[in-house]
Amino acid sequence: MESEEKRSFIPYGHQWIDEEDIASVVEVLRSDWITQGPKVDEFEKKVAEYCGAKYAVAVSSGTAALHAACAVAGISEGDEVITTPITFPATANVIVFCGGKPVFADIEADTLTIDPKEIRNRLSARTKAILPVDFAGHPAELDKINTIAKEKGLIVIEDAAHALGAKYKGRRVGRLSDMTILSFHPVKHITTGEGGMILTESQEFYEKLKTFRHHGIVRNKPDEGLWYYEIHNLGYNFRITNFQCALGLSQMNKLDWFIQRRREIAARYNEAFAEIEKVITPVEHEGAYAVYHMYVIQLRMEKLKAGRREIFDTLRAENIGVNVHYLPVHLHPYYQREFGYKKGDYPKAERYYERAITLPIFPKMTDEDVEYVIKVVKKAIACFT
């Protein structure tokens, strides 16, 4: 393919950090509170309020949030948790860390989120929870999932690492499941460097989560002395720092704009690729408000003269930081070896994986960056047609 005038590398995602963010972190660094401190509570309250959730517990990463949620849901030896194969492996890894078995259910071909019909096919006497993922920022079919959970007495832990600010039937993600987890990794909607949060409506889960984040320490016997604490159940050090939460608070002031900008870029991509029949663009179901953590296109390989790999490499050669999200979790060697999963088990997830390319999308992308990506993608597709 004849090269365009090359722009500098455009990653698939990138944080936005401005002077306001820097000032709020510096202010905390100059204070007495470096690890736990008042900003942690403030950040929890701000995110909970934004999402309409009752309780929030901030932790050191999205993975820690998932792990804590599974632990307080009581996932343990012999339990099965139904989840999607199209996710970052942490979603399934934490189930295993708690002693449970991840049982995958195939995805819906359009939204790429877990298919409630497939969940029903995977239920067993050992199923304890359902762990849907709001893939790329599009909410999963939460009403249908909650209906199954209610019928069968299961807990729903929603992995909304991609979906802060997303809406499902007019309601913000964060209070639509028993527990909802968020990630604040730099490519997400807001960042604290590393960080995560669990949102819940349940006081019982909330109290257990706060204890789990801090080694399982319980201070309930003041008569024993000010130093006294006990461990009733094991926990981890999953604490987040005061200065990370100061960053999170300042990022929250920009969240609506971040989401608006992501949706603007997605709309421009949708418009530009609508005319190319070899490209399938992401859907947004009626009733869903997607927040485009990622913008994933699928290629109709049968209409192209090249494989996904060649198109991917061509875009990378033009400094477009395309990526692929994700190798279906059941195909990772660990999951094949330990749980006996194999190629062919989840045909829709596998078909999606073979055709997917993630294009850059993040608020800091300029209109020129967006037009460059469009131009190069169109050219690469034309070249291999």
Our finding on whether 381 is near ligand PLP (CB under 6 A) is: no
Write out the binding residues for ligand PLP, residues 194-213 only, by CB under 6 A: 196
From candidates 133, 156, 290, 381, binder to ligand PLP by CB under 6 A: 133
The span from the first CA to the last CA of the chain, in angstroms, equals 12
CA-based nearest residue to 199, from 38, 42, 47, 40:
47
Fill in the per-residue mask, 159 to 178: x = in contact with ligand PLP (CB under 6 A), - = not in contact. Answer: x-xx----------------
- Contact range with ligand PLP by CB under 6 A, out of 61-69, 202-210, 220-228, 258-266: 61-69
Give the span between the Cα atoms of 63 and 183, in whole angstroms.
8
Our finding on whether 358 is near ligand PLP (CB under 6 A) is: no
The DSSP secondary-structure symbol of 60 reads S
- Contact range with ligand PLP by CB under 6 A, out of 8-16, 156-164, 228-236, 278-286: 156-164
Query: Whose CB is nearest to ligand PLP?
Result: 62
Give the span between the Cα atoms of 93 and 78, in whole angstroms.
15
Residue type, 291: V
Our finding on whether 88 is near ligand PLP (CB under 6 A) is: yes
CA-based nearest residue to 82, from 106, 99, 47:
106
- Contact range with ligand PLP by CB under 6 A, out of 14-22, 158-166, 197-205, 353-361: 158-166
- CA distances from residue 221 to 217, 229, 233, 260, 343 in whole angstroms, order as listed: 12, 7, 16, 49, 54
Q: Where are the alpha helices (DSSP H) in 58-129?
A: 62-72, 90-97, 116-122
From candidates 61, 241, 250, 251, binder to ligand PLP by CB under 6 A: 61
- CA distances from residue 373 to 69, 185, 300, 366, 377 in whole angstroms, order as listed: 38, 24, 19, 11, 6
Our finding on whether 241 is near ligand PLP (CB under 6 A) is: no
Our finding on whether 185 is near ligand PLP (CB under 6 A) is: yes
From candidates 183, 192, 244, 298, binder to ligand PLP by CB under 6 A: 183
Kindly state the tokens that stand for 291.
Answer: 């927040």
From candidates 90, 95, 265, 290, binder to ligand PLP by CB under 6 A: 90
Per rule CB under 6 A, count of chain residues that contact ligand PLP:
15
- Is the Cβ of residue 58 or residue 133 nearer to ligand PLP in the bound state? 133
Is 34 exposed, middle or buried, given 0-12, 13-18 or 19+ CB atoms closer than 10 A? exposed
Give the footprint of ligand PLP on this chain (CB under 6 A): 61-63, 66, 87-88, 90-91, 133, 159, 161-162, 183, 185, 196
